[in-house]
Copies of this chain bind each other. A is one copy, B any other.
Amino acid sequence: METKSENACFGGVQGVYTHASKATGGDMTFGLFLPAEAKDGPVPVLWFLAGLTCTHENAMTKAGAQAWAAEQGIALVFPDTSPRGEGVPNDDAFDMGQGAGFYVNATQAPWDKHFQMWDYVAEELPALIGAEFSVDMDRQAITGHSMGGHGALTLAMGLPGRFRSVSAFSPICNPMRSDWGRKQLTGYLGEDESAWEAHDASMLMKSKGFDGPILVDTGTNDQFMDLLMPETLAHAAAQRRQQAILRMQPGYDHSYFFISTFMEDHVTFHAEALYAG
């Protein structure tokens, strides 16, 4: 593992690290914020999965999460959204390939060799962080934005017992029925739609739900609303009687200005779950 940068930040350290990844067959870069409390012992951790076109850097520099994580004594992980580099396949469109891993393990060529983002985020990166940093991997929570909101919700429901709480900003809620989903799930997982259901938050809410609290914010002026379909997740969550707070935020759009506005709420929400019991 190589340290790319470490900056003092809200009394802690905002680091960027690169490591050779077995899951994705190449170098991966991630951001990690450690609050001051990490010096005294392992701290709980909140994952932030980013959206289409993003790297590890977008939320790390624009979401304003460190202020609140420092206040709560919580670490933040900012993974990249896909494998990258010359040997890694890509697509001309922004919504497939590099920057658009969709947090699945691809089974279809040419993607299957590198695009194992589920394994990367669910297994390899937590193991690395638990081993190398003062982070308590028994106290994890997860959030994300857009494609990363989809990732947060599907990982949380797909890995029962792993995360104490899950939240999302403008998540893609029903990718099996969305142009942000059908193309990618077909490309990465093949044409058998039954293989897609483990990567659709609304389907997972119907079949499994989540054994903890959920918070989801979507802006009423989100320019991608038709692709996100928050109504499908809302219906499934209510039908299941899932413990959940699903909010439509008047006037907000899909941008990081929206995310930063409600970041305090999300970090506080996760802190309650991470420090409970």
Chain A residues packing against B (C-beta within 8 Å): 7-11, 14, 61-62, 64, 66-67, 219, 221, 249, 251-253, 255-258, 260-261, 264
Tell me the complex Cα distance, A257–B16, Å.
13
Contact residue among B64, B219, B251, B255 (Cβ-Cβ distance under 8 Å from A64): B64
Contact present for B252 and A8 (CB under 8 Å) = yes
| Chain B residue with the shortest CB-CB distance to A7 | B257
Contact present for B8 and A253 (CB under 8 Å) = yes
For A67, list chain B residues within 8 Å (CB): 64, 67, 260-261, 264
* Contact sample, A vs B, 27 pairs, CB 8 Å cutoff: A7-B253, A7-B257, A7-B258, A8-B219, A8-B221, A8-B249, A8-B252, A8-B253, A8-B258, A8-B261, A9-B257, A9-B258, A9-B261, A10-B261, A11-B261, A14-B257, A61-B61, A61-B62, A61-B256, A62-B62, A64-B260, A66-B257, A66-B260, A66-B261, A67-B260, A67-B261, A67-B264
